Amino acid sequence: MIETIGMALGFKPSALHSHLAMLSADPLFHIPVWIQLVGVLILLAFAYRILYELYWSPLAQFPGPRLWAISRIPGQLSMLRGTNHLDITALHERYGPVVRTSPTEIVFNAPGAYRDIYGARPGGCFPKDPTRYLPPANGVNHLVGETDHATHSRQQKLLAPAFSERALREQEPLITGYIDTMISKLRGEIQKGAPVCDIKSWMNYTTFDITGDLMFGESFGCLKNSQLHPWIDLIFKSIKALAYDGMARQFPLFHSLLFALVSKQIKRKAEEHFNLAARRADRRLETKTTRSDFMSAILQNGLSESNEQHDDGPRMMTRAEIHSNAFILIIAGSETSATLLSGCIFYLCKNPRIMSQLVHEIQSTFQTAEDITCRSSATPPYLAAVIEESLRIYPPFVTNLSRLVPAGGASIDGHFVPEGALSCHHYASYHSASNFALPNTFIPERWLGNDPRFDGDNKDMLQPFSLGPRGCIGKTLAYCEIRLILCKLLYNFDFTLSPESSDWTNQKVYYLWDKPALKVKLRDRFSDGEEQEDA
């Protein structure tokens, strides 16, 4: 048998016999025949699997690197290195708008594909891939990770009133109060002789306090103490732990072993984050109040006393579901907005012309800081263009949201896709020259419709909040928060990037950006005595 395999591989008979004679003199060569047979069968199985994935698999028709097609390992190593956003972008550049990135998954970067994958479809939208969404510590899923359509719909309908236009009007004084506190604190830092600050941390202070108050009825005191609450560090560690576990879950047979290699400290931080959210949620449940916030929306029909989920009868959440949603809303409601604002400030500092034009628009639109409201800040066109361009070039959620094609397959952007996983990658899609001209350059004018260079841009491709039934429920709140903070910052201060942050966007990604400090120098526009009473 060995001679037959050797000759099939191209060895000359004389050379093969010579090698076999040498091996036969080695005691290790005398292996029982049945073990040799098992070894050969294993090799044949591997060979068959490779040939199947490359030539006979239903996904073999889609282009992509061969190593990625035959194994999940290259893709997961890309995630582990924190460079998946760059790797997928490069794969699209090489192979086109459809790329096979694993034995069972393909990735698109076309607007039509995005609508087909994430939009509403007859019979219901594509389900989420459960291997990519790890339930929180209590094992009960939240709005973002819930894969069951009925449960997701119930949770979404309970939370929707908290993010409505009416709720936003009621919440605006609270949001504005925290932003004004941030302005006062930054002004105080300048007066103390500390004009250089980590603006990224101040964005986290503000959005974290706002989200904490809306979720739990109390802030985390970040702005009051001018320092990060320990919970923020827990959030970052939790996200990295979720990313590592998501990688390990792609190898079911080795999941326990692989996840055991993840730092115990990282796993402990993730569990601590969940427990902190649960304790704060319980404290808010015991507080009687008529204010409009996330929890009042959840409790509109009362609290289910059972630990089981109920998808019929009165729409209610269980305490376990409230704990899980509190856990995710703190991340989704604070870190993402802070990330976008940090990226926006960086690119404005790197592009003085754009900064100057935006500041001029803000100063000519608002006579006083009090004029800056959620409604009034929605009207300046260049401000809107700057925010959209920031979402494109530095999306808060960087990677992809995997969906499953059901049995029988589906048509995606003109391609028939068999049963399996598929997605659109945010960063790769937004940085593709097939979707946007000059994709790696920060140019807000592309969104104003008056520059012919960008007439061919696929603007519908920009979906940072996703779309369809699973689209981000907090989109309206996020836009309001981002506009208010950016307007008030630029109304009150000049920004200059510090040299140590000149290459700030050179970051790794673990679902979200792993951001270093963003050092900027501030100058108070009202330092000559014309300071506004209400920033």
**Token pair for 525:** 């526009």
Handedness of CA 508, 511, 516, 518 (dihedral sign): positive
Contacts of 170 (CB under 8 A, 6+ apart): 291, 292
Strand partners, 513: 509
Q: CA 355 to CA 442: how far, in whole Å? A: 11
User: How far are the Cα atoms of 8, 35, 241, 433, 440 from residue 3, in angstroms, in the given order?
Assistant: 8, 17, 50, 53, 57
Nearest partner of 297 among 279, 284, 312, judged by Cα: 284
Distances (CA, A) of 129 to 10, 104, 468: 44, 12, 16
The reply, when asked if residue 472 is annotated as ligand binding, is yes
In angstroms, rounded to a whole number, what is the distance separating the alpha carbons of residues 478 and 344? 14
Distance in angstroms (rounded) separating the CA atoms of residues 185 and 149: 44
Facing residues of 508 across strands? 514
CA dihedral 457, 462, 468, 471 (to 10 degrees): -170
For 198, counting Cβ atoms within 10 Å of its Cβ (0-12 exposed, 13-18 middle, 19+ buried), the class is: middle
Show the DSSP H helices in 376-421 as ranges.
381-393
Size of the chain in residues: 535
Handedness of CA 348, 354, 359, 365 (dihedral sign): negative
Q: What are phi and psi of 444, to 5 degrees?
A: -60, -25
Q: Residues annotated in the binding site for heme, as ranges? A: 472
Q: Residues annotated in the binding site, as ranges? A: 472
